[in-house]
């Protein structure tokens, strides 16, 4: 077995500021199929991509989790609204444009493979890792917007990746920390979680297998390592013939298994993402080949599918990178222009503010100097509304803001008991109140504000749009893409 053939299947992670560039160059020279980038400045990402591709004699692919645009992770690029904000708008043109901008800025950075879109459904408020990364709870909405997004990516020269097959939405565990379990049979999955994947497989360049245990399909291996799920369900039953990539192998859901990479390839995966030790993984693959556990034909088939991805990029690789795309006026303007369409009332309650009014503002357990809602507060001030820290018992109307969002490895997303108590007491003591969800809409579950407005993210333009909504200057065009269970104010 040619050792470079095995290296082709390994995609080490590279974390700017932590990983060793010299080691990455050695891995590229060994024949690594590509890398997954995390973080960095625009200049750092662009230069390392150039160096790694120069060091490789194979068509090396650079991947990154730019779900919300390159600016989600890269300093100097444009951060875009999350999928749930686009889901609230229901607009395919916004989804497509998000894909186009993401692809343009990824290419400007030398990144080829955008590990998006998330096709999971947001069906559980306690899911700590999907949430606003999803388009919403409706499979049809997720499919329509996912297709538009994929179309936008491909039109500007970036590869797409559906994730996390066969659906990470109906879990309450973070696979960065533990192995989640989905106790549904195939029929139940086909009614909900699988529907966006089934609809999008014909358009997607690749699929990411989730680290999820589905006992009804395979009682011993998570989906990412399961032949029943990858070869049986994804390839044979659903007919997907493109490239399959694992979720990061350094996640605790699978990292305890030293043979996880071998199992993934035997199950039907083609690319092994972000192993803890790439050299150790290569040694395991070599041993499997020597023992006859893994055949050369399986390795060649996986490499051929990765070659197919590289060929899709060929028309764009000869073009100069669009370096002037990074945080250009047009891309920044997209965010501000999209914001009103994405905001949605979860409960309108006729909460309005006007010039000359004093409004109490609260971020639970957060001092004024640490407020995250500065753009919201400033926008209200520009509209003539005086904003002061909320003081209970003095007749102040209340605007409370929450900034809960998915964070890999945090294991939680919703409010702590302490934050909940502070919010509940503030709402109870105010003559009227509005809760602003600048992130997860599920923070509203069980709370009784007079009104609730969801922005789904904390981008400055979305904060300013939310201020405009309260002042009656902006009309929110979105509808809730998920269900929240608020209770009436006592």
Q: Is the bond into 369 cis (omega within 30 degrees of 0)? A: no
Q: Do 282 and 138 share a domain, yes or no?
A: yes
User: In a 3-state reduction of DSSP, which class is residue 452?
Assistant: strand
Task: Name the strands in the sheet holding 358-362, side by side, starting at the edge strand that comes first in the sequence.
Answer: 344-347, 451-454, 433-437, 397-402, 358-362, 386-389
Cα distance between residue 332 and residue 315, in whole Å: 27
The domain that holds 307 is classified in CATH as 3.20.20.300
Cβ-based neighbours of 185, under 8 Å, separated by 6 or more = 216, 217
Q: Could you say which of 291, 325, 359 is where a domain stops?
A: 325
**Stretch (H or E) spanning 300:** helix 296-317
Strands 13-15 and 34-38: parallel
Q: Which of 202, 222, 235 is nearest to 301 (CA)?
A: 235
User: What is the phi-psi region of residue 91: left when phi exceeds 0, alpha when psi lies from -120 to 50, beta otherwise?
Assistant: beta
Q: Is 330 a domain residue? A: no
- The token pair that represents 212 in the structure block: 């999820």
- Based on the residue annotation, tell me whether 247 is a catalytic residue of this protein: yes
pLDDT of residue 149: 98
The answer to whether 186 and 134 are in contact (CB under 8 A) is: no
Say if residue 160 is in the same domain as residue 245: yes
How far is Cα 423 from Cα 461, in angstroms, rounded to an integer? 25
pLDDT at res. 458:
98
How many domains in the chain? 2
Q: What is the CATH number of the domain that holds 361?
A: 3.40.50
Q: Are residues 302 and 368 in the same domain?
A: no
Q: What is the pLDDT of residue 254?
A: 86
Taking alpha carbons only, the member of 220, 215, 211 closest to residue 188 is: 215
Write down the pLDDT at residue 179. Answer: 83
Q: Answer yes or no: are the C-beta atoms of 141 and 92 closer than 8 Å.
A: no
Residue 198 falls inside a structural domain: yes
Omega cis (within 30) before 117:
yes
Contact 115, 163 (CB under 8 A): yes
Q: State whether 416 and 296 are in the same domain.
A: no
Does some domain include residue 411? yes
How far is Cα 460 from Cα 441, in angstroms, rounded to an integer? 18
Question: Which among 4, 12, 22 has a CA at the least distance from the CA of 246?
Answer: 12
pLDDT recorded at residue 328: 97
Residue 407, in any domain of the structure = yes
Establish if 66 belongs to a structural domain: yes
The per-residue pLDDT for 490 is 37
Domain hosting residue 362, numbered range = 343-470
For residues 366 and 432, state if they share a domain: yes
**43, two tokens:** 């200049």
219 and 290: one domain? yes
Cis-peptide, bond into residue 332, ω within 30° of zero: no
Are 310 and 365 members of one domain?
no
Query: How many angstroms separate the CA atoms of 124 and 323, rounded?
Result: 40
Domain identity same for 296 and 430: no
In three-state secondary structure terms, 366 is coil
CB 390, CB 361: distance < 8 Å: yes
199/133 same-domain check: yes
Catalytic residue chosen out of the listed positions 247, 270, 282, 461: 247
Residue 44: its pLDDT value, please? 98
pLDDT given at position 415: 81
User: Burial letters for 4-14: b for 16+ Cβ neighbours within 10 Å, e otherwise?
Assistant: ebbbbbbbbbb
State how far the Cα of 150 lies from the Cα of 266, in Å rounded to an integer: 28
To 5 degrees, how large is the angle CA 164–CA 170–CA 173? 80
Helices (H), 41-134: 42-55, 83-89, 92-109
200 closest CA partner among 169, 167, 156 = 167
Please name the residue ranges forming H helices in 156-206: 186-191, 194-200
The pairing of strands 451-454 and 344-347 is: antiparallel
Mean pLDDT per block of 10 residues along the chain (490 residues) reads 84 98 98 98 98 95 98 98 98 98 98 98 90 97 98 98 94 79 93 97 97 93 96 97 95 82 96 96 95 94 96 90 94 98 92 95 96 98 97 92 77 78 94 96 91 97 98 97 76
Same domain (yes/no): 300, 385: no
Given 296, 325, 354, which residue is the final one in a domain? 325
How many Å apart are CA 225 and CA 488, to the nearest integer?
46
> In DSSP terms, which residues pair with 328 in a beta bridge?
none
The answer to whether residues 219 and 361 belong to one domain is no
- Tell whether 104 is covered by a domain: yes
Q: Of 168, 176, 211, 331, which one is the catalytic site residue?
A: 176
Give 198's contacts (C-beta < 8 A, 6+ positions apart). 190, 238
Identify the bridge partners of residue 451 per DSSP, sorted by sequence position: 434
164 counts as catalytic:
no
Are the C-beta atoms of 264 and 226 separated by less than 8 Å?
Answer: no
Identify whether 74 is part of a domain: yes
Cα 72–Cα 75–Cα 76 angle in degrees, nearest 5: 105
Residues 465 and 368 in one domain: yes
| pLDDT for position 489 | 43
In a domain, 480, yes or no: no
């Amino acid at each position: 077995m040619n050792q470079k053939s095995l290296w082709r299947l390994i995609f080490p992670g590279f974390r700017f500021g932590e990983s060793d560039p010299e080691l990455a160059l050695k891995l590229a020279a060994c024949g690594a199929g590509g890398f997954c980038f995390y973080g960095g400045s625009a200049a750092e990402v662009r230069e390392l991509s150039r160096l790694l591709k120069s060091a490789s004699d194979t068509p090396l692919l650079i991947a990154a989790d730019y779900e919300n645009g390159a600016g989600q992770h890269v300093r100097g690029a444009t951060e875009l609204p999350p999928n749930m904000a686009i889901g609230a708008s229901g607009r395919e043109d916004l989804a497509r444009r998000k894909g186009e901008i993401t692809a343009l800025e990824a290419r400007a950075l030398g990144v080829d493979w955008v590990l998006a879109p998330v096709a999971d459904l947001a069906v559980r408020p306690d899911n700590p890792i999907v949430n606003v990364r999803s388009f919403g709870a409706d499979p049809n909405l997720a499919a329509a917007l996912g297709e538009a997004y994929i179309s936008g990516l491909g039109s500007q020269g970036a590869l797409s990746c559906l994730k996390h097959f066969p659906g990470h939405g109906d879990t309450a565990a973070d696979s960065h920390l533990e192995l989640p379990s989905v106790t549904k049979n195939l029929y139940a999955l086909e009614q909900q979680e699988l529907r966006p994947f089934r609809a999008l497989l014909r358009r997607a360049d690749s699929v990411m297998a989730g680290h999820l245990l589905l006992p009804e399909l395979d009682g011993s291996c998570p989906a990412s390592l399961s032949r029943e799920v990858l070869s049986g369900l994804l390839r044979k039953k659903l007919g997907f013939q493109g490239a399959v990539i694992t979720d990061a192998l350094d996640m605790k859901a699978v990292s305890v298994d030293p043979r996880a990479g071998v199992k993934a390839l035997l199950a039907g995966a083609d690319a092994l993402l972000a192993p803890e030790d790439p050299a150790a993984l290569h040694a395991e693959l070599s041993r499997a080949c020597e023992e006859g556990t893994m055949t050369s034909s399986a390795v060649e088939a996986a490499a051929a599918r990765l070659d197919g991805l590289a060929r899709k990029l060929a028309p764009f690789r000869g073009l100069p990178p669009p370096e002037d795309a990074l945080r250009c006026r047009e891309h920044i303007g997209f965010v501000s222009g999209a914001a009103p369409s994405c905001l949605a009332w979860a409960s309108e309650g006729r909460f309005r503010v006007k010039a000359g009014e004093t409004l109490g503002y609260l971020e639970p357990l957060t001092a004024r100097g640490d407020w995250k809602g500065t753009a919201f507060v400033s926008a209200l001030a520009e509209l003539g509304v005086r904003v002061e820290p909320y003081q209970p018992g003095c007749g102040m109307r209340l605007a409370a803001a929450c900034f809960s969002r998915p964070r890999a490895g945090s294991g939680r997303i919703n409010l702590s008991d302490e934050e909940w108590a502070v919010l509940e007491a503030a709402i109870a003591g105010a003559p009227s109140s509005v809760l602003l969800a600048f992130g997860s809409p599920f923070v509203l579950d069980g709370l009784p504000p007079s009104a609730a407005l969801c922005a789904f993210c904390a981008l400055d333009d979305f904060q300013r749009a939310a201020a405009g909504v309260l002042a009656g200057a902006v009309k929110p065009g979105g509808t809730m893409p998920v269900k929240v269970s608020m209770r009436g104010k006592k």
